[in-house]
Amino acid sequence: MQTNAHTPLSEIRKKGKFQKSYLLKFLKRLIIECLWVILNIFIFWLIFFMLYSFATQEPKHQTISYQVSKEVSNYAEKTYGLQTFQKGVDFQKNINNLSISLGKDTNSSPEELRLIVINLSREFLKQINQNEKIRPYLSHFPFTEKDITLSIQMKNESTNSEKVIDYVYFSCGKLFYSLMTRDGTFTNLFEETYDEALSLYHTNHSDTPIANQSNPIPKVEGISKI
């Protein structure tokens, strides 16, 4: 700063204090504005992550239903060596249906698949009706064989023989047995109700107990008795 030799010392000091005060106010304002920008950025990302987390969060009913289906999948793999392809839940206002799609390495006879479907359906209904967490989300209680869907597809090549089945589908309380055609589609061989399947099993295998017979499902109204 250049000063005139005749400028009083007091005026020089006064000008210096003014410039220093102005600089401090400027820095203070700059810091406040920077903090305000940082705060706004933080709030923006906080809201973004909250909305993203909410949007991507799996509905509770779906989480619980998949846990139930997983128990059945583990049972199917451990007992019959089946692999799970897909788990599904039909949900509108409540859960109307739970489904599992399974795969089997080898073709099977109708009798063998009938036994597998009966046992898996029993296990499925047990896992659903005994699970108190899923109960508030069910469209009705208890679930019956008409409220679950099971399918088993054989993974090896079709034999085109009615003695073995390529695909069995259980839905709405009915079993559908199918063969795979050359173009990869399925043709329905025959079907039977759940009660007919139970009757046929008892007729042909009266000496072989169905799984869980020694440890029956607790009596719940609406579950078919075996």
**DSSP assignment of the chain:** ----TTS-HHHHHHHHHHHHHHHHHHHHHHHHHHHHHHHHHHHHHHHHHHHHHHHHSPPHHHHHHHHHHHHHHHHHHHHH--EEEEEEEEESSSEEEEEEEEEESS-B-HHHHHHHHHHHHHHHHHHHHT-TTTGGGBSSSS--GGGEEEEEEE-S-----TTSBSEEEEETTEEEEEEE-TTS-EEEEEEEEHHHHHHHHHHH-TTSPPTTSSSPPP--TTSPP-
pLDDT above 60 (res 6): no
Our count of domains for the chain comes to 2
Mean pLDDT calculated for residue range 185-214? 78
Please check whether residues 64 and 95 belong to one and the same domain. Answer: yes
Question: Is residue 71 within 8 Å of residue 133, measured between CB atoms?
Answer: no
Q: 80 and 51, same structural domain? A: no
Between CA 138 and CA 127 the distance in angstroms is 13
At residue 222 the predicted structure's pLDDT band, cuts being 50, 70 and 90, is very low
| pLDDT, tens digit, 9 for 90 and up, residues 66-125 | 999 999 999 999 999 999 998 888 887 899 999 999 999 988 899 999 999 999 999 999
- Which of residues 3 and 74 earns the better pLDDT score? 74
* Domain that includes residue 24, residue range: 9-57
Q: Could you tell me if residue 97 is inside a domain?
A: yes
**What is the pLDDT at residue 23?**
78
Q: Is residue 167 a part of any domain in this protein?
A: yes
Are 36 and 107 in the same domain? no
Residue 112 is assigned to a structural domain of this protein: yes
pLDDT band at 202 (very low <50, low <70, confident <90, very high): confident
The amino acid present at 64, given as its one-letter code, is I
* pLDDT band at residue 25 using 50, 70 and 90 as cut-offs: confident
Domain assignment present for residue 50? The answer is yes
Q: Could you tell me if residue 34 is inside a domain?
A: yes
Residues 89 and 194 in one domain: yes
Strand order in the sheet with 83-91: 83-91, 95-104, 148-154, 167-171, 174-180, 186-193
pLDDT at 160: 60
Kind of pairing, strands 174-180 and 148-154? unpaired
State whether 146 and 98 are in the same domain. Answer: yes
Same domain, 140 and 158: yes
What is the average pLDDT across 208-225? 40
Across all residues in the chain, what is the average pLDDT? Answer: 81
Both 53 and 64 in one domain: the answer is no
- Return the amino acid letter for 145: E
* Residue 218 falls inside a structural domain: no
Q: With respect to residue 226, please indicate whether it lies within any of the assigned structural domains.
A: no
Residues 21 and 92 in one domain: no
A 10 A CB-CB count for 66 gives 15
Looking at the fold, whether 44 and 113 belong to one and the same domain comes out as no
State how far the Cα of 94 lies from the Cα of 64, in Å rounded to an integer: 13
**pTM for this prediction:** 0.67
Q: Is residue 1 part of a domain?
A: no
Shared-domain flag, residues 86 and 198 = yes
Instruction: Decide if 155 contacts 145 (C-beta within 8 A).
Output: no
Task: Output the pLDDT for position 88.
Answer: 86
For residues 87 and 99, membership in a common domain is answered with: yes
Please check whether residues 13 and 97 belong to one and the same domain.
Answer: no
The pLDDT value recorded for residue 216 is: 37
